[in-house]
Structure formats: structure tokens, C-alpha cells
Amino acid sequence: MSVDNVHDRHRICGRRNCGQAGVVLLFVVAAAIGPPDNVSAQTAMAEPALSPRSRPAVSEPARLPYARPPDAPSPKALEAGSRRGTDKTCLARLGSLGVKYAITAPITDSDGCRVPEPMAIIEIAPGVRLIPESRLNCQTTKALAIWVHDVVLPAAAAEFGSRPTALIHDSTYVCRRRNNRPDGKRSEHATGNAIDIRAIALAGRNALPIRIWNETAIAERQFQARLRKGACKVFTTVLGPGTNAAHATHFHFDLARRKNGYRLCE
């Protein structure tokens, strides 16, 4: 999604703080749950019908088991991969947050996009899935997990007395340049460093799309405002409804690096 139309004159907040902690390597891969076999299989089993443009009501995704594909990495393979360079501190933090994931084959696209150790996220927090199929680097996975744990879970409990069951996204890794142009800087999506979230599924009610809510939707507006404000403490870029037309129907979060650790929260 486009972010280059948002300039440094926008409101800037705080220095980045990756929140890294711990040195013990943990791998959290559910014994009976594996990464989705492919995009179409996971989308067919779990993703509600939700048009990025029309935004009809979204029902909570059905909770279905994942089948481990034949080429899914084993715990030993993951351990070998970590010795080749995965950030052990990052993996330890994912373990402490209860993230379920698998490290998949390296991504090297002909256009130069590259994710050395992409993660397929099964649950970004206990009981909270990330759908459809995702590919993120470890640092972005960690930031997303911290946001869910510290912001989304308490906001859902306070505003709706409910618990999130899934984050529904439009994209994670996509090999493209900013604004989908044929040249120029690569998007943060091209390194697995960004995610576009379009809805939050909650237990016992319809999923909530990310949008501009009218004045009567008090709880929805407050919930979305809390999510946005909290994201600004975790990600270096936060864009969404009200930023521009390109971000009117989703949150864009990324970990772009800027001079002096500045964050863009708009």
C-alpha cells in the first residue's frame, strides 16, 4: 500500500523501541497445527468474504484445524535455521508472547525482493489467528505480537467485553515498489516488514472492519482509536483511515528505519 505520499511534515512521534528481551531460544509450533498449505487453501477454510472496497458485515471466521503440509519445517530444521542467523532474542520474545509460527523457505524474487527467513504465522497470540496466509520477518512479527498483547486484547475487553479471534489482513510480503510504480523505492512489504490489517474478528460478534465510523458508533470508534494510538508505540509507521484515500479501509503498519529513530504516526 502507498506510503510515500505521506511526508515528513506529518506528525512524528517518539524514538523506536523494539522491545527486545530475553536470550533463550524458544520455538512455538503447535504439535497438531502446522502452517497453511497455501494461500488459497487457508483463505478457503478461514477467511470471511470481505471486499476491501465495499466493506459488508463480516462474520467471525470459523475455527478450523490446520493440516501440516508435507514440506513444513520440523523443529530440528527450525533450530538449524536459527543457527544460520535467526535473531535468537526475537525468537525468544515470540515464545514469551505465545506466537505459533514456522520459519519457511527464504524468499528471493527476481525483482530483488528478499526475506531471508520469512515466518508463516499461525497464531499471533494464543487463540488469535492471522489470516489469510502471511509471510513476515521476525522483527515485524514480534512488533505485531506485542501490539496484539498490549493493545488489542485489553481494548477488546474494555470496549466489547470480548476477545479477538483473528486479524484479517490484505497483505504481508508483496514484492513491489511504493505506489506500485515500476521504479523507485521498494515498499516495506517487499522485505516482509509491513502488514495491512483490514478487520479484527471478535468472539461472539461480527468482525470489525477498519474504516471511518460515524458518530453513533461510539464503541467502534473508541476501539479503533485505541488500536491506532497503541500501534504508534510499537511500529515506526502507522497509517489508516483519515491519512489519505489509499489507507481509508485498513491500517498499514511497518518498521521502516528513519533518521534518529523517528516514527510516522498519521
Give the total number of structural domains in the chain.
Answer: 1
- The verdict on residue 35 lying in a domain is yes
Give the separation between CA 97 and CA 41, rounded to whole angstroms: 27
- The verdict on residue 4 lying in a domain is no
pLDDT of residue 138: 96
pLDDT of residue 184: 62
- The verdict on residue 121 lying in a domain is yes
Joined grid coordinates for residue 161 = 467485553
Pairing mode of beta strands 262-265, 237-239: parallel
- pLDDT by residue (tens digit) across 186-228? 788 888 999 999 999 999 988 999 999 998 999 999 999 999 9
- The verdict on residue 244 lying in a domain is yes
CB proximity list for 168: less than 8 A, separation 6 or greater: 47, 48, 50, 58, 61, 131, 197, 198, 199, 200, 201, 207
- The verdict on residue 5 lying in a domain is no
CB proximity list for 207: less than 8 A, separation 6 or greater: 48, 50, 58, 59, 60, 61, 166, 168, 199, 200, 201
Are the CB atoms for 129 and 61 separated by under 8 Å? yes
Joined grid coordinates for residue 65 = 484445524
pLDDT of residue 264: 87
pLDDT of residue 7: 39
Joined grid coordinates for residue 185 = 523505492
- The verdict on residue 1 lying in a domain is no
- pLDDT by residue (tens digit) across 8-40? 334 334 433 444 333 333 333 333 334 444 433
Q: Is the pLDDT at 6 greater than 70, yes or no? A: no
pLDDT of residue 179: 61
Percent of the chain with pLDDT over 70: 65
Cis peptide bond upstream of 106, omega within 30: no
Average pLDDT value over all residues in the chain: 74
Domain carrying residue 30: 12-50+57-265
- The verdict on residue 26 lying in a domain is yes
Percent of the chain with pLDDT over 90: 47
Overall pTM > 0.75: no
Give the separation between CA 179 and CA 57, rounded to whole angstroms: 28
- The verdict on residue 221 lying in a domain is yes
Q: Is the pLDDT at 97 greater than 90, yes or no? A: yes
Among residues 115, 200, 116, 206, the alpha carbon closest in space to that of 153 is found at: 200
Q: Is the pLDDT at 159 greater than 90, yes or no? A: yes
Q: Is the pLDDT at 56 greater than 70, yes or no? A: no
Q: Is the pLDDT at 60 greater than 70, yes or no? A: no
Residue type, 35: P
Distance of CA 242 to the CA centre of its chain: 20
pLDDT of residue 34: 43
Give the separation between CA 130 and CA 200, rounded to whole angstroms: 10
Average pLDDT over residues 118-139: 95
- pLDDT by residue (tens digit) across 238-253? 999 988 888 889 999 9
